[in-house]
Amino acid sequence: MTTTPTTAPTSIRGRVARLAHELIVPRQDGCLRDSAVDVAALARLRRGAGRDAAALPDLWGLIDTSPLHSTADGRRQLSERELVRAENALHTALTLWALHQQSRGSRMHRLHSYQRPGGLGAAIRRLMPVGEIDDAVRKRLVRAGTAPDLTALAQRLRDIVTLLRGADIPLDYGLLAGQLYAWQWPDGPAAVRREWGRSFHARLKSDSDSDSRDAGSNPPAAKDDKDAS
């Protein structure tokens, strides 16, 4: 008897997270160098923030999902359902990053680390005064967590990203892409909400490390870090 999986396959989530990082880093570096090609690509990508991927065929050429079709290193071929959900997650993460990066002089995609949590919950916590909880800001995270579908979630995340951009607070968009992939599975929303909740309450460490080291060319391991902030 065939059973329908209810949670995202861990290895695929990791591949989505890694691919998002690998797609963003060169674009981000190019934008910081004021590369005309990358600045133009950023402008095109950010038009998709909060919108359904299927509605914007103009962006398909900017988000190279071909590595998802690779069977190198013994990887199995992904099912149609897995591919669609992976592509949707990548589209959402990259377009939100493009909105976040617009006109910023520093890297708005930064890898999560224990010392410098880069997840959504931790980023929202950084919008608040030290030692205080801003209920209006916290409710934005709660509202995102209760989105009924990925399109609604993308729209609510767009509002959050706009706040983060204004405060120059970066986010790990690889981690977010993996969470967006997981979100689309039946048990995914509850699991991702738990991750965001842990992230929100995580103790923030020193911000003395440079963004260039955290968001450099070394991609994250292709695994599912359920305790990532």
pLDDT of residue 228: 47
Task: Answer with the residue of higher pLDDT: 43 or 133.
Answer: 43
Model confidence at 210, pLDDT cuts 50, 70, 90, reads: very low
Residue 225 has pLDDT above 50, yes or no: no
User: Could you give the C-alpha distances from 129 to 64, 90, 112, 135, 215, in angstroms and in order?
Assistant: 39, 32, 21, 11, 25
Say if residues 86 and 69 touch (Cβ distance below 8 Å). Answer: no
Is 120 or 228 the better-scoring residue by pLDDT?
120
Q: What distance in Å separates the CA atoms of residue 27 and residue 48, rounded to the nearest whole number?
A: 16
- 141-160 pLDDT tens trace: 999 999 999 999 999 999 99
Average confidence (pLDDT) over 193-207? 76
pTM of the model: 0.84
Supply the pLDDT for residue 6.
Answer: 64
Confidence of residue 195 (pLDDT cuts 50, 70, 90): very high
- According to CATH, the topology of domain 10-64+78-207 is Peroxidase; domain 1 (1.10.520)
Determine the average pLDDT of the residues in 37-58.
85
| pLDDT > 90? residue 205 | no
**Mutual angle of helices 150-166 and 173-183, in 10-degree steps:** 160
pLDDT at position 129 is 85
